[in-house]
Amino acid sequence: SQQGEEDPQALSIQEGENATMNCSYKTSINNLQWYRQNSGRGLVHLILIRSNEREKHSGRLRVTLDTSKKSSSLLITASRAADTASYFCATDHFTGNQFYFGTGTSLTVIP
Amino acid sequence: DGGITQSPKYLFRKEGQNVTLSCEQNLNHDAMYWYRQDPGQGLRLIYYSQIVNDFQKGDIAEGYSVSREKKESFPLTVTSAQKNPTAFYLCASKVYGNSNQPQHFGDGTRLSIL
């Protein structure tokens, strides 16, 4: 299966702290995407990083990609209670239209 | 506003019954997808369609069927052959042919067995 793996499965932090979650995949990718899912809702796209990029920022989000290790990390700085959600990575393995999702990290930010 | 609408939000299936989940988008996207989400397993692809009147099986297509008669619509039927249908079903769409574009998701349908 192409499905990636994320760790940790669950993460609990205090408001204001940084949260880091990791995604590993098995075969070469064209790009990797991070999504957020609030409980009982659909996924919302956060950020896309291409295979030739190493780091990307969007507001309080910082994504890194290490293709030699086949891994990516998502850092959320200065977390807020509203950041409480599940976070998923998804990889495009050059198919163009099919993506493989990781198992997700459940983040809880305690006010 | 453009988006994806899934209905119903909650659905109950009786033994031996087929049920159909609706997915409509007004984003003018060619590609549409159906995923199944179980706790702790992330999203798994059931079917996807890149163009009207064409669709492809994903990793877990057994017990499901789809149609794509209109660009805007991609309904999923959960047949009686699917013995464990209880899950959260998500529909998504994206621009076809440009892989550096994200998927857009609906808010899901939660299917349970009566």
Select from B39, B43, B74, B72 the least CA-distant residue to B60: B43
A48/B100 touch (CB, cutoff 8 Å), yes or no: yes
Q: Which residues from A are below 8 Å from B50, CB to CB?
A: 97
Q: Which of residues 64-83 of A touch B (CB under 8 A)?
A: none
Q: Does B74 touch chain A (CB under 8 A)?
A: no
Q: Does A97 touch chain B (CB under 8 A)?
A: yes
A7-16, A93-102, B53-62: least confidently modelled range: A93-102
Strand arrangement of the beta sheet that strand B76-78 belongs to: B4-7, B19-25, B76-78, B64-66
A41/B45 touch (CB, cutoff 8 Å), yes or no: no
pLDDT attached to residue A93: 86
Q: How far is CA B10 from CA B13, B19, B22, B107, in A?
A: 10, 12, 12, 11
pLDDT exceeds 80 at position B10: yes
CA–CA min distance A80, chain B (Å):
23
Rounded Cα gap, residues A29 and B48, in angstroms: 20
Name residues whose C-beta falls within 8 Å of residue A7's C-beta, 6 or more positions apart in sequence. Answer: A21, A22, A24, A105
pLDDT exceeds 70 at position A2: no
Residue range B25-79, pLDDT digits in tens: 999 999 999 999 998 678 999 999 999 999 999 999 999 999 999 999 999 999 9
- CB distance A2 to A23 below 8 Å: no
Residue B113 per-residue DSSP state: E
Q: What are phi and psi of A83, to 5 degrees?
A: -80, -10
A97/B4 touch (CB, cutoff 8 Å), yes or no: no
pLDDT exceeds 90 at position A90: yes
pLDDT exceeds 70 at position B93: yes
